[in-house]
Structure 1
Amino acid sequence: MTAPHAAGDVPVMPLPELTLPALRQAVATLVPSRLPEFFNDMQAAFVRAGDEDSVTPIRMFYRQWGVVIEIERHPHTAARLHAAERAVDDPDPDTRARAIREAGEIVRAAHRELAGG
């Protein structure tokens, strides 16, 4: 399995709290181009929470964007993920399979980090 973060892949900022203001600021700092997606996901989570009378969709939204930030705050890790995402469209099935494994490992490692290691 691939290491979650390469040696020397120092985070460019601390992991923020999983709160709306902290996550919004982190997205604005690290991946401002994704702010519209962040706000769309936030709106959908709050609507779903109201429809379901549950806070679970909001917690899932925080977790989803916490994973994004955990990855993006490590430049080398983020670059690996983005390369894997691009390689998923490669015509070679072996290249696609490697890309899917790499992306999955990176995302799972980010989930583990959010869960406390």
Structure 2
Amino acid sequence: MKIDRMDHIVLTVRDVTATCEFYQHVLGMEVGIFAGGTRKYLQCGKNRINLFEQGSEVEPKAAVTVPGAGDLCFIAETPLPEVIKHLESCGVPIELGPISRPGAMGLMESVYLRDPDNNLIELSNYVEL
């Protein structure tokens, strides 16, 4: 078997509205609504983050569903210095960085922050060598 790519991940969150506001306003993601209008997701490029509100998860689900357990890395098209300025303008503190880290396709320059549920978010640019 050969896996081609990841389609989506699922985050369990305390407040879907607050999560959507953060990811839309701070990270520029689009908010979508599943057919039936009861569940939301975040779209970024060809990837999706499906959202479960804690206590209202849909089966099947992970064995342990808790807000704040995520550790996500996003590759930004925007240069990192502009990303940092944008985060500052949104009042989002940077927890660490800029710092160099290895990524799936080479060396990255990254900053780390937290979303409303305390998930760790890494925003990165690949370093041109």
The reply to whether TM is greater than 0.5 is no
Structure with the greater relative contact order (CA < 8 A, sep ≥ 6): 1 or 2? 1
Normalized against structure 1, the TM-score is what?
Answer: 0.33
Structure holding more strand per residue: 2
Structure holding more helix per residue: 1
Normalized against structure 2, the TM-score is what?
Answer: 0.31
